Amino acid sequence: MQGLAGVLAGIGRIRALVRYSDALDAYEAERERSAAGPTVDQVVKELGGAALRARLQAEYEPELRHPRAVTRLRALMGDDAALPIADGITRLLDRVALSSRDGATPDPHRVTLLTLHSTKGLEVARVYIVGAEDSQIPGYRAMRDQLEDEIQEGRRLLYVGMTRARDRLILTRADQRGERPSGGNQFLDEMGLAPEF
């Protein structure tokens, strides 16, 4: 097969034969219901054969397929790697959690990432707001179409984020994103702040 049809056929063939696919089970159920069509074994043969199916469904060692990712994960897990899987997942998620809503004191050796929406009521030493530009806050569409409600919401969110800083506030903006202009910095201009380049 040539072109797009060949690409789609190749993708479909793999998707049907991999371990967790239910495509062949669905096909078999439909075949039993309608009593027509080739058997599953015949379909597997047409899709590449039993050997390909066995290879695609074989267990593999993650260390062999993704050695760098496994090494980083093991370093992050440390001694927790020996825990039962459910406990290990819980411990890992606790360790890499970006923010907490339970009011617990943040780890002083961890950078906490929050959206502007989730900062209300918090106060932290340093706040870095990334994307203080029109295409991000309030957003390209809001500025293009002059959607006053969304522009006002963008102002409010930026204000909330800015007022969370106890010692230091840094606002960043890009001049371009994806080779497109970022749309200026109306909110910074309104505050009398001039970006440094």
| pLDDT reported for residue 47 | 86
Q: Could you tell me the pTM of the whole model?
A: 0.42
| pLDDT reported for residue 99 | 46
Is residue 68 over pLDDT 70?
A: yes
Question: Are 149 and 168 members of one domain?
Answer: yes
Is residue 111, in this structure, part of any structural domain at all? no
| pLDDT reported for residue 106 | 56
d(CA 12, CA 27): 13
Q: 53, 17 in Cβ contact below 8 A?
A: yes
pLDDT tens, 155-168? 888 888 888 888 88
Q: Is 59 or 1 the better-scoring residue by pLDDT?
A: 59
Is residue 73 over pLDDT 60?
A: yes
Question: Are 135 and 181 members of one domain?
Answer: yes
Residue 164 gets which letter from DSSP?
A: T
Residue 145 gets which letter from DSSP?
A: T
User: Which residues on adjacent β-strands are paired with residue 129?
Assistant: 171
| Structural domain of 69 | 62-96
Question: Are 12 and 45 members of one domain?
Answer: yes
Is residue 185, in this structure, part of any structural domain at all? yes
| Tally of domains within the chain | 3
Which residues of 74-188 form beta strands (DSSP E)? 124-130, 165-172, 176-177, 180-181
Is residue 102, in this structure, part of any structural domain at all? no
Q: 114, 99 in Cβ contact below 8 A?
A: yes
- Tokens in use for 59? 């267990």
| pLDDT reported for residue 1 | 43
pLDDT tens, 100-147? 555 545 566 666 677 777 777 777 788 888 888 888 888 778 888 888
